Structure 1
Amino acid sequence: MYRKYLKRWFDFIFALIALIILSPLFLCIFIVIKSNSAGPAVFKQARIGRNGQVFQMYKFRTMALNAPTNCPTHLFEKPEAFITKPGKFMRGTSLDELPQLINILKGDMSIVGPRPSLVNQADLILLRNNNGSSAVRPGLTGLAQINGRDELPIDQKANYDGIYAEHITFLKDLKIIINTIFIVLTHSGIKEGKQ
């Protein structure tokens, strides 16, 4: 019942309320980004959604315009050369992820689910296809994010995604959300070069 019907309503209401409450913060971040570097404050990146559908995921821009695209930042030779000053802070606090609330409103994403992979992450996509987690709407946070986050290797991330896909309940989603807030506040498991 929750997975099939209520989860989507929960996502929509949560995202709508969060966007209203956080709108002053969105404006402040927009101004800081625009005043520190050229280019748009928000950028779109192709990601893999539920059942392999490609969608455009929104993020606050944390990198210079000449940064490589569609590549995880941790694979850059010198990621610090591309990350802007406000971008470093936003990545450390996960503020760059806030525009994904719009993706949640649109139905591209959920509050909780596997983090959406880049279109060229064939290894992760294959593992998710094999364990059934590709059938789940990708999330702003997920089981992998509260169990190691950026520090996890691909196979472990996919394993957590599969476990989540098999056991989706409201209480488990609520627990993941609460744990995510704690992890973000303590900066646990965040690497300089997160995706």
Structure 2
Amino acid sequence: MQRKRQRQRPKRRPPWGAARGRPSPKRLLDLVLGSVLLTLTAPLLVAGALVLAARRPPGGVLTRSPRIGLGGRPFVLRSLRTRRLRLDLLSRLPQVVLGDLSLVGPEPLTPADEQARTHSTDTSAPTASTTAAGAPHWRQELRPGLTGLAQLRSRSGMPWDEPALLDQHYAEHHWVGLDLAILAGVVHDPLRRAIHARARRGKAHLSDTDHRLCNYSAAE
């Protein structure tokens, strides 16, 4: 009696960055650059946390919000309860190092927003039963980002800016070079605005009277 040959299932391709059990270039960037940034900003974060603790804000020093991460796994997003010097954003760096977040990626959404965005931005998305069987939405194939293409482009005022579409564009074309370009833009744009603002404040606004001679009289 011949043994029936079992039909082999095709191996499912692991998420980008998990192939062969080694960290991907994107994950290595998160670990190396995230650790460096965390080390540099740690004194500022500690100082901010101490100031907040002294003020005893309702709810504590940190805000906590449920979000959806890689593979649809829920996690708690923790941020300092302040936006000064973008400390709320920088306080998420530990979660980049731990792997809940990436330096660059789609916006970290709440479970309700995740469900709404999934159904509204992907008309060809599989049904709920198919998704449960192993076809995750593109959002679930990437770690959500500390920042991203949507956050960067949203400041440009372009009429076609749509965060969900920009996040999807990033998910389809992401690579380490794009991550570095986005990070460079995130740093460059605020610095440029700050320099321009200081230059405008530093300019002397001379009126017509500033150019008149000492003995000039309006009656003349």
- Normalising to structure 1: TM-score of the pair? 0.70
Q: Which of 1 and 2 has greater Rg?
A: 2
Partner of 1:124: 117
Residue in 2 aligned with 1:51? Answer: 71
Say which SS state the counterpart of residue 47 (structure 1) adopts. strand
Higher fraction of helix? 1
Q: CA deviation at 1:11?
A: 0.2
C-alpha displacement of 1:37: 3.2
Aligned partner (choices 23, 34, 50) of residue 53 of structure 2: 34
Aligned residue among 17, 39, 50 for 1:20: 39
Distance 1:148 1:35 in 2: 35
Q: Tell me the equivalent position of 1:97.
A: 89
Shift of 1:164: 0.4
Deviations 1:150-175 (A, max 9, x none): x899x921111111011112211111
Match of 2:177 among 171, 174, 190: 171
- Listed one character per residue, the Cα deviations across residues 60-86 of structure 1 (whole Å, up to 9, x for unaligned) are 01xxxxxxxxxxxxxxxxxxxxxxxxx
Identity fraction in percent: 30
Alignment coverage as a number of residue pairs: 156
Change over 3 Å in CA distance of 1:152–1:32 after alignment to 2? farther
What displacement does 1:180 show?
1.0
- Quick check: 1:30–1:41 contact (8 Å CA) kept in 2? yes
User: Which of residues 186, 194, 197 is equivalent to 1:180?
Assistant: 186
Structure 1: runs of 5+ lacking an equivalent: 62-86, 188-195
Q: Using the alignment, how far apart are the partners of 1:183 and 1:117 within structure 2? A: 25
- TM (normalized to structure 2)? 0.63
Give the partner amino acid of 2:68.
I
Change (3 A) 1:12 1:126: farther
More relative contact order, 1 or 2 (CA 8 Å, 6+ apart): 1
Does residue 164 of structure 2 align to residue 158 of structure 1?
Answer: yes
